[in-house]
Chain A
């Protein structure tokens, strides 16, 4: 039986891991490769590296990071942040990344999703959606959660599936960084709408939040950053709790 995945997310800036509250107030938490290796040894099912510098000069840094991680870490890892061309994707995937995630570029240039998917398979294409609640629905935001697009999240999720995304990384901007739980309704609504896997992101405060997003939110994977970085919980503690509550996870 397919296991629910626990995915630590490492925000990377200038080659170092950082994590902030709602995308501001960054704190330094270490070397990406060492962090990744530790998480892999600790039982992480997958890793996500989000490059939040994403300037042109940083592109080389993230390529080197992907290459170094591939030498040390033998679980799947995704690289996201600033990927806007098929060449960006090709570079990272050939360096050893299992998947790439695209966000702003997917909204601005929809054919990019299809292009990458056709070239490398849809399992390599994660579309990251930053969602902000507006009344009864959610709106897609781009540019690291700063720019509203007027696009409805559910409609966009269905569209990216059609365009060739293999997975959706769904971040609630409202919940992100507050450790008060995932947006369960958002996750349930998107999981209802698409048939590709969805990674819940934004708001993990503890194992009970993950339990809820797996059971009520129907998510396939749960992403978390600060609770793991700052040692609030270990991955083993989270998985033990989930197992005790009947969620199938990898040992």
Chain B
């Protein structure tokens, strides 16, 4: 069972629909959308989705009393996948609307793209992810495959080793990160066609 954490931000249903599609082929992809700490701690894996503002996401997680159970799950080695804003929340801090603390699971910062006449913000659409098969999350995903992005901020991990996939948009940024059993993708696998479904399937395999 995968717990999709509901903290009031983010398109949870599209993540669940994608998992359901993966589940047609794989046992262990059952999921629940939940904001219940017990359900989260009882799950085999946790997905932290999310769109919107960083500070509000952190505030909601705290108000719902969910930061503790997420951190505990990570400490216990339970696989966690952060998607888009959910990935950014894994980091130490963000510059979005002032400085705000994140979950601090992966050391690093969240920064805004710098606008220029040739660089539109949000970074929206399909862009390539370069990787070197370093992670179980990217099994069967070709190098330079396209994924769907929609974001104005990007993560800068302190440890270069945490970066397992990168993408170019004005600069090269970390689009896939991993630290132990904690994974993050800046794009939306649930919106990235068959390759996105492959990533979700890989995550389910990691949780099994």
> A-side interface residues toward B, CB under 8 Å?
1-5, 40, 45-46, 67, 70-71, 74-76, 93-98, 118-124, 166-167, 195-197, 220-221, 250-251
Given contacts A2-B169, A74-B21, A74-B191, contact A123 B148 (CB under 8 A): no
Q: Are A96 and B146 in contact (CB under 8 A)?
A: no
Q: Are A197 and B17 in contact (CB under 8 A)?
A: no
Expressed in whole angstroms, the Cα–Cα distance for A119 and B11 within the complex equals 12
Chain B interface bracket (under 10, 10 to 19, 20 to 34, 35 or more): 35 or more
A-B contact pairs, 6 of them (CB 8 A): A95-B13, A119-B52, A120-B52, A121-B9, A121-B85, A250-B126
Q: Are A74 and B122 in contact (CB under 8 A)?
A: no
Interfacial chain B residues near A4, Cβ < 8 Å? 125
Interface bits B131-143 vs A (CB < 8 Å: 1, else 0): 0000000000000
Q: Are B53 and A75 in contact (CB under 8 A)?
A: no
Expressed in whole angstroms, the Cα–Cα distance for A95 and B13 within the complex equals 6
Expressed in whole angstroms, the Cα–Cα distance for A196 and B115 within the complex equals 10
Specify which of A5, A70, A94, A167 is in contact with B17 (CB 8 Å cutoff): A70
Among the interface residues A40, A94, A123, A167, which one has the most CB atoms of the partner chain B within 10 A? A123
Q: Are B196 and A45 in contact (CB under 8 A)?
A: no
Q: Are B152 and A122 in contact (CB under 8 A)?
A: yes
Expressed in whole angstroms, the Cα–Cα distance for A251 and B126 within the complex equals 10
Inter-chain residue pair count (beta carbon < 8 A): 102
Interfacial chain B residues near A95, Cβ < 8 Å? 13
Q: Are B51 and A123 in contact (CB under 8 A)?
A: yes
Expressed in whole angstroms, the Cα–Cα distance for A1 and B144 within the complex equals 10
Specify which of A67, A74, A120, A196 is in contact with B51 (CB 8 Å cutoff): A120
Given contacts A121-B53, A123-B151, A251-B146, contact A70 B14 (CB under 8 A): yes
Q: Are B197 and A196 in contact (CB under 8 A)?
A: no
With CB as the reference atom, state the residue of chain B lying closest to A95. B13
Expressed in whole angstroms, the Cα–Cα distance for A99 and B126 within the complex equals 15
B124 at the A/B interface (Cβ < 8 Å)?
Answer: yes
Given contacts A70-B17, A75-B148, A95-B13, contact A45 B126 (CB under 8 A): yes
Expressed in whole angstroms, the Cα–Cα distance for A166 and B20 within the complex equals 29
Q: Are A98 and B14 in contact (CB under 8 A)?
A: yes
Q: Are B13 and A96 in contact (CB under 8 A)?
A: yes
Among the interface residues B168, B169, B188, which one has the most CB atoms of the partner chain A within 10 A? B188
